[in-house]
Amino acid sequence: MTDSISKERRSANMSRIKSRDTKPEKTVRSALHRLGFRFRLYRPNLPGKPDIVLPKYKVVIFVHGCFWHQHAGCKRATQPKSNRKYWTPKLKRNIERFYEIKREYRQMGWKVLVIWECEAKKAAKLIMKLNLIK
């Protein structure tokens, strides 16, 4: 019992700290560079603290972990088998919060582009998606 609580708390702490400079983020940034985009990183004053901001295009990019944001139809978006009482609402909240964030950008006249962690691994798909910004 004690162990499962501490494990739960540990996961909560881990998820609260949004990791920066993860491999998928770096991949997306270098792809943007190659495509000639100019961008900024991390504008803390924008809703949801986007990973990449392209002010010229009024586009923000979120590089989403397939698990944390439950990428639909993705094999990485598994629901944990243990601690369901903890995980199910938590993952649901992530999704709901992101809906809110998207709505805020829509109202601001900005576009939101989501790059999934698994997409960052497929160069062709990534380039295709990033080219949509222009």
Binding residues for Zn ion, rule: CB under 5 A, are 66, 71, 74, 116, 118
User: CA dihedral defined by 28, 32, 38, 40, rounded to 10 degrees?
Assistant: 0
- Pairing state between β 59-64 and 40-41: unpaired
Tell me the residue ranges of DSSP E strands in 1-134. Answer: 40-41, 52-54, 59-64, 111-116
CB nearer Zn ion, residue 110 or residue 129: 129
The least distance separating Zn ion from the CB of residue 72, rounded to whole angstroms, comes to: 9
Q: Which two tokens stand for residue 53?
A: 């901001």
> In this complex, which beta carbon is closest to Zn ion, that of residue 46 or of residue 118?
118
**Minimum CB distance to Zn ion, residue 61 (Å):** 16
Closer CB to Zn ion, 90 or 125, in the complex:
125
Which tokens hold the place of 125? 């798909």
For Zn ion, the closer CB: 28 or 66: 66
Closest CB 1 distance from Zn ion, rounded Å: 34
Under DSSP, is residue 61 helix (H, G, I), strand (E, B) or coil?
strand
Query: Smallest Cα–Cα separation from 90: which of 23, 15, 35?
Result: 15
Q: How far is the CB of 46 from Zn ion (least distance, A)?
A: 24
Query: Measured at CB, which residue is nearest to Zn ion?
Result: 74
